[in-house]
Structure 1
Amino acid sequence: MMTILDKIRGRTRVVISENERALHLVNGELQGILEPGVHSLKNGRGTLVVERHSMAVPEFRSGYEKALFDKLPDVVEKHLTVVRTRSAEVAVVDRDGRVHKVLGPDERLVLWTDTGPWTWELIDTQDQPELTQKLLRRLGDAKQTQQFEIVRVSEGSVALLFVDGVLTRTLQAGVYAFWKAGRSLTQKLIDLKRQSLDVTGQEVLTLDRVTIRINLSAEFRVVDPVKAAQEVKDFTDTLHRALQMVFRKQLGALKLDQILERKGEVNAEATARIKSDMAAIGVEIHDIVLKDVILPGEMREILNKVVTAEKEAEANVIRRREETNATRSLLNTAKVMAENPVMLRLKELEALESIAGKVDRLTVHNGTGGLMNDLVRLRDDSAA
């Protein structure tokens, strides 16, 4: 009966469930928001329009939003919650105590009030550019990280934070987060630990016009990260070029023999100069080593021949010295024997003993008696 009566009266029966809300228009004119229940709405000649909204989607989105706010402010206040941010502001919007969304500067969010309860916190990013660790964890767990930038600094390093190209802060080891809020945030990580830099295959023309290649190694540490970042574009590249130029100048003023003989002295001179230059940009040099001097192939052959000749000459000198010492020793022995016939005879017996040990049979023609008589005679002669 109700349906027939509605048709006679030019009305339509609309049912709105608990998880719905609806906008309704008659003759193109917005009438209001329908709450859960049965509604009998005027529908002359089919001019009724009903726009249903599911409460599963808490954000209000409709092409009639502006008309609703302009014509029916009381209805808006009853059914909708509006969150706005100004320039340089962000808003952390919570739904029933849990993070729902983070609004950036100059944004607006319209929510169905009945899907709440809704609360929010407005943050002035000019006064509070950095997030607290508690808020960082909350937003990270909710995967709402679009409005801020995380800076991670490892142990033994620092990070220089630049806002719109201006250095604003030096960050020690840890995790930091900063609101973007229309600003350009960049950071530069600088390692403060001791590092090494190798310069390999550097060609140098010596004073005697020999082209050599050298390998260098330097150990350094950044002691003033602000200077290292601002004084030069890249302090590592600056150190690399300084090593090249200083050693090229130092070694180019020496002959090859001097380079090979005074390698340690050259290192000391070069190290002193480079230390002074790098200290001006906040870099401390610990050690510089000229590791290798690589000669051209033909030069290596020549030097090998020179070294071989020198070693042979030294060997000949040693050999002659030993021969002279041996001859002098024999001469002294001969003098002793000439003055002492018994000693000479004993040497003969030693020689005879040595020979006897190397042969199977030894024949003594004078007999053992004759041998003993000779010994007695030698003794008597010596006593006389």
Structure 2
Amino acid sequence: MSKLTRFLGYERVLVSEAERVVALYEGKVLGIYGAGVHRMPNFRGTLVIERHNLAEPRFRSTYEKALIDRLPDVAARHLTVVKAGEREVVLIERESDLLVALAPNARLVLWTDAGPWTIRRFDLAASLKIEPLLARRLALSGRIAAVQTATVPDGKIGLLMVDGVYRETLGPGFHAFWASDAAIEVRQVDLKPQVLDVNGQELLTRDRVTIRVNVTAGYRIVDPIKATIGVKDAGDMLYRALQLAFRETLGGQTLDHILETKAGLKPEAVAALGAEMAAVGVELGAVSLKDVILPGEMRDILNQVVTAEKQAEANVIRRREETNATRSLLNTAKVMAENPVMLRLKELEALETIASKVDRLTIHNGVSGLMNDIVQLRDT
């Protein structure tokens, strides 16, 4: 039978369940054949058989276009053609197994019998965001090229910029986006209270002394869009505003006043600075003057002034104590003059003190004579 078939110009082609066959006769597509035995013309050996294993679900054939153009019904019965739009990403799955993610304008032809296929389309014009679970599935399946990810930590928010244009605000957490021809950027903005230091700011006081000051200010971003898109750098803007405010305020004060008060900005200046920063989404906190640094020569002069002042104070205290001591002696003398018994006690105390400091004491004329002489001296 096989020889007769070949003699008549035909050939039997066996196709298994796990494959499909594309047949051409005399250079023309005959069709697609499934499992079974098929009798095909093969006059003068012009039959061409192209076998495809369904384990490879993609249909790759040189005759794809000819097959779809000449036999559209056959192609529609055996092939699934998937085409992504200009602003569209297409996910193709088989029984929850992710096969491929088609980028915009991409095209793929699948064997229908290798399915069933689930096709999910995502409009990039509507949203570039991907659900976190789906993004992780794409990453695990090796389709990471189709995904762009960003993580926003606690205390911050993210501003989604697409082609340099603000799209939406992202909260803390994991975020994923479809990779496309659009430039995607997530700008992270810190919402926690922050401190800005302005160190070594030089200025000239009203009495023409050059000093350097260190300034500190607290602030917090309350409107991320204004603070990020409205200005180039909100922190740099606050830095320069603090420089100007302190230059204007301290420049109108004398050095002695600055050193004495160390008050920093006036309330009205702080209010004006706060209003200026509020316009760009920044809430101003406490503003204070930390340090005043003097030039070397001025520091030496002030040290000399302080030394002279302290010496003068010490002299005043010394004179006061001397006066108090003299006044005490005078009061003691008056008491003794008015009370002979008190004078005699003092004499005995003096004698006791002298006796305690010598090893031997010789008394002439007896103790009675000594006491009488002392009394006689006192009477004289």
Q: Same fold by TM-score, threshold 0.5 exceeded?
A: yes
Match runs of 1:247-262 below 5 Å:
247-262=246-261
1:220 corresponding residue in structure 2: 219
- 129-138 or 211-220, which deviates more: 129-138
Given the alignment of the two structures, is residue 64 of structure 1 paired with residue 63 of structure 2, yes or no? Answer: yes
CA distance in 1, matches of 2:3, 2:95: 41
Residue type of the partner of 1:245?
L
Given the alignment of the two structures, is residue 351 of structure 1 paired with residue 357 of structure 2, yes or no? Answer: no
Structure 2 unaligned regions, length at least 5? none
Contact 1:91/1:103 (8 A) holds in 2: yes
Change (3 A) 1:178 1:30: same
1:271 corresponding residue in structure 2: 270
Shift, 1:236, TM fit = 0.8
Shift, 1:241, TM fit = 0.9
1:294 corresponding residue in structure 2: 293
2:199 corresponding residue in structure 1: 200
Q: Secondary structure at the match of 1:356?
A: helix
Residue type of the partner of 1:71?
R
Contact 2:23/2:29 (8 A) holds in 1: yes
CA distance in 2, matches of 1:218, 1:317: 44
Change (3 A) 1:359 1:376: closer
Residue type of the partner of 2:305?
V
CA distance in 2, matches of 1:352, 1:213: 68
The Cα offsets for residues 275-317 of structure 1, whole Å up to 9 and x where unpaired, read as 2321222211221222122222222222222222222222222
Shift, 1:195, TM fit = 0.8
Change (3 A) 1:274 1:13: same
Shift, 1:371, TM fit = 5.1
CA distance in 2, matches of 1:212, 1:54: 85
CA distance in 2, matches of 1:129, 1:188: 16
Contact 2:212/2:292 (8 A) holds in 1: yes
CA distance in 1, matches of 2:150, 2:337: 99
1:156 corresponding residue in structure 2: 155
CA distance in 2, matches of 1:205, 1:185: 48
Shift, 1:181, TM fit = 5.9
2:82 corresponding residue in structure 1: 83
Contact 2:138/2:147 (8 A) holds in 1: no
Shift, 1:359, TM fit = 3.2
1:105 corresponding residue in structure 2: 104
Q: Secondary structure at the match of 1:345?
A: helix
Change (3 A) 1:47 1:202: farther
Q: Secondary structure at the match of 2:130?
A: coil
Change (3 A) 1:265 1:245: closer
Contact 1:160/1:167 (8 A) holds in 2: yes
Shift, 1:237, TM fit = 0.9
CA distance in 1, matches of 2:193, 2:43: 85
Change (3 A) 1:142 1:370: farther
Residue type of the partner of 1:175?
F
CA distance in 2, matches of 1:60, 1:249: 77
Shift, 1:134, TM fit = 4.5
Q: Secondary structure at the match of 1:106?
A: coil
Percent of aligned pairs with the same residue?
A: 56
CA distance in 2, matches of 1:24, 1:359: 143
Change (3 A) 1:324 1:133: same
Aligned length in residues: 379
Residue type of the partner of 1:247?
F
CA distance in 1, matches of 2:359, 2:3: 149
Change (3 A) 1:22 1:302: farther
Structure 1 unaligned regions, length at least 5? none
Change (3 A) 1:168 1:330: same
Q: Normalization by structure 1: what TM-score?
A: 0.83
- 332-341 or 143-152, which deviates more: 143-152
Q: Normalization by structure 2: what TM-score?
A: 0.83
Shift, 1:17, TM fit = 6.1
Contact 1:267/1:289 (8 A) holds in 2: no
Q: Secondary structure at the match of 1:264?
A: coil
Residue type of the partner of 2:274?
K
Given the alignment of the two structures, is residue 285 of structure 1 paired with residue 284 of structure 2, yes or no? Answer: yes
CA distance in 1, matches of 2:297, 2:99: 77
CA distance in 2, matches of 1:102, 1:125: 13
CA distance in 1, matches of 2:294, 2:268: 22
CA distance in 2, matches of 1:340, 1:329: 17
Backbone CA RMSD of aligned residues: 3.5
Contact 1:341/1:378 (8 A) holds in 2: no
Residue type of the partner of 2:90?
A
CA distance in 1, matches of 2:65, 2:282: 61
